Amino acid sequence: MLCVEGKDKWMSRRGILDYNRMYNKIKKYYKKFNIPKDTKVKIFSFFHKDHYTKQYDKNNCIENKSIEYLNNIEKLLHEDGINDVNIYTNRFPDEDIIDCINAKYFIPSAGNFSGIILNLRKKIY
């Protein structure tokens, strides 16, 4: 859950979200698959409602923290010389799934859609 009341940490059901972990995962994929640094990077994200209270993002906390998280990843990629980075947020989910299925490389996050996309890519390719 993001923006837990009374806490100053950005949290999810999986624990504290650390953008460095996702960035390191991206770096490992680049190395493992020998991805050129000039490869276009597309990051997809969707700002969810709070599934615990069933309320939408009050005071834009989830959106603001998500943008901060994504910008930190983009900044680290730029520092590594990976400069063609585009962030897509809150698009129609079907568009994101289609783009991810058709991507040359797909680096999953911990979200549920990542599992769906991985399964679809296995069936298609």
Query: Tens of pLDDT along 3-13?
Result: 555 444 445 55
In total, how many domains does the chain have?
1
**What pLDDT digit, counting tens, does each position of 75-115 carry?**
999 999 999 999 998 888 899 999 999 999 999 987 778 88
Residue 81 included in any domain: yes
What is the token pair recorded at 32? Answer: 């493992």
| Residue 1 covered by a domain | no
Any domain includes 2 = no
Q: Is residue 4 part of a domain?
A: no
30 within domain boundaries: yes
CA distance 46 to 38: 25
| Per-residue pLDDT tens digits for 115-125 | 899 999 999 98
Residues 69-85 pLDDT 10s: 899 999 999 999 999 99
Nearest-angstrom CA–CA distance, 4 and 11: 7
**105 vs 17: CA distance, rounded Å:** 23
Q: What is the pTM of this model?
A: 0.78
CB 57 within 8 A of CB 47: yes
Residues of the domain holding 97: 11-124
